[in-house]
Chains A and B, each alone.
Chain A
């Protein structure tokens, strides 16, 4: 571990920023868990609570943004501190979008409760579990500065895509079998899509973690190649 900053206030401000990001991540994780629970248990009350809690996440986003701007203006951070703050500014956007996606899933839950159940939604539950796990690992990678863990998150994303595709096809089949299921199957399809997008944002976070630790940008390798030729 490197020594801490000679200026203790600065050290505390950076620590505080890290903790706020984690708190925000925790909120989003809980939102997603509740939203999926609302779908599975057909609980519109719970879904409404998820929608209401979105303002907390939005408030955290604004606070974290402010903290980053203040640090940039007043501390002129360099090297790993600079990369950490640049990462925080981006991660916060992804986390806020993930919160929105959890709300979208909650809205699907409310819609699905309007009509009888289409039966168990095991795949959707699995997909949600994977999405939650991805967020948890991405945040762990961020806190621990763990590039390996971040890379695992990036590699795991393919499984979420595959499961989404399976749900998509299953729902199409349901619609073709029974036109009365179209609205509900579409809702489930959307919910699955939101979860898959949720996973993409976890990948974004993981990519930023690699940048933060290594100082190299691993996003869009192909566009980089184009630029250098």
Chain B
């Protein structure tokens, strides 16, 4: 009860690359243990928004942001916040599965722990995360095999397991299924439903049906502007903004 209802709160976020402002003041709340989907055409700022949430955006030379970003009601940009620790709490899964090619399946999962110098052989963590990522049954007999031998869908779930190993609270996913076949996609989507019991998830997707299937809330970005955000059911049955309506019905001008 005393946990804040909103895991993340964004107020008036602006973001830029050099002189080019690419997000023009976005405000939005993300309830704890929910899935937010971000939709919008290419270049509208979805990935940038995501990367602001774990302060990866500022790692690009010349890039910056302003506005308020709260995680558990605490300012992400406060001087006391260690960005590295923040990125542990707010994990990220990318579009292309990117397992470490020279490492085994097990070592891929525990890579984050070893980077953070957590001692031990991590066998328990590896099993727990692979189970959570719905991959355990498929790989339990070949944990020492190279990760590159897995299929694309398995590699993506491996990357999700790797992100889970450092016990994050928020998972950011940037088009996590766009390189996957329909079966692998369904597995990742099913996994998202599972994961939201424990984590707050923000997923960027080009696939509007996917947004409709996996998310509780949807945000629509257009040309760097957050046009509308709200319950997914509302966005897809009766959006408030004409531009959202045109986008979800496939009227792209």
Could you tell me if B209 and A79 are in contact, using CB atoms closer than 8 angstroms? no
| Distance from A156 Cβ to chain B, minimum over Cβ atoms (Å) | 27
Q: Is A76 an interface residue (CB 8 A)?
A: yes
Which residue, B209, B242, B246, B250, has most C-beta atoms of chain A within 10 A? B250
Total chain A interface residues with beta-carbon distance under 8 A: 16
| Distance from A10 Cβ to chain B, minimum over Cβ atoms (Å) | 7
Closest chain B residue to A82, Cβ basis: B237
Could you tell me if B245 and A7 are in contact, using CB atoms closer than 8 angstroms? no
Could you tell me if A81 and B249 are in contact, using CB atoms closer than 8 angstroms? yes
CB contacts under 8 Å to A, within B218-250, are 236-239, 242, 244-246, 248-250
Could you tell me if A76 and B251 are in contact, using CB atoms closer than 8 angstroms? no
Known: A76-B209, A78-B208, A80-B245. A2 touches B251 (CB 8 A): yes
Closest chain B residue to A14, Cβ basis: B249
List the B side residues contacting A4 at CB < 8 Å.
Answer: 251
Tell me, in angstroms, the Cα distance from A82 to B245 when the chains sit together: 11
List the A side residues contacting B209 at CB < 8 Å.
Answer: 76
Q: Is A77 an interface residue (CB 8 A)?
A: yes
Which residue, B209, B238, B239, B252, has most C-beta atoms of chain A within 10 A? B238
List the A side residues contacting B246 at CB < 8 Å.
Answer: 2-3
Known: A79-B236, A215-B238. A3 touches B253 (CB 8 A): yes
Total CB contacts across the A-B interface at under 8 A: 43
Q: Is A228 an interface residue (CB 8 A)?
A: no
Tell me, in angstroms, the Cα distance from A83 to B239 when the chains sit together: 12
List the B side residues contacting A82 at CB < 8 Å.
Answer: 236-237
Interface string of A52-94 (1 = CB under 8 A from B): 0000000000000000000000001111111100000000000
| Distance from A206 Cβ to chain B, minimum over Cβ atoms (Å) | 19
Tell me, in angstroms, the Cα distance from A76 to B210 when the chains sit together: 11
| Distance from B207 Cβ to chain A, minimum over Cβ atoms (Å) | 10
Known: A5-B249, A5-B250. A79 touches B237 (CB 8 A): yes
Could you tell me if B251 and A6 are in contact, using CB atoms closer than 8 angstroms? yes
Tell me, in angstroms, the Cα distance from A212 to B212 when the chains sit together: 20
Chain A interface residues (CB < 8 Å from chain B): 2-7, 10, 76-83, 215
Residue contacts A-B, CB under 8 angstroms, 16 given: A2-B245, A2-B246, A5-B250, A5-B251, A6-B252, A6-B253, A10-B250, A78-B236, A78-B237, A79-B238, A79-B244, A79-B245, A79-B248, A80-B249, A81-B249, A83-B237
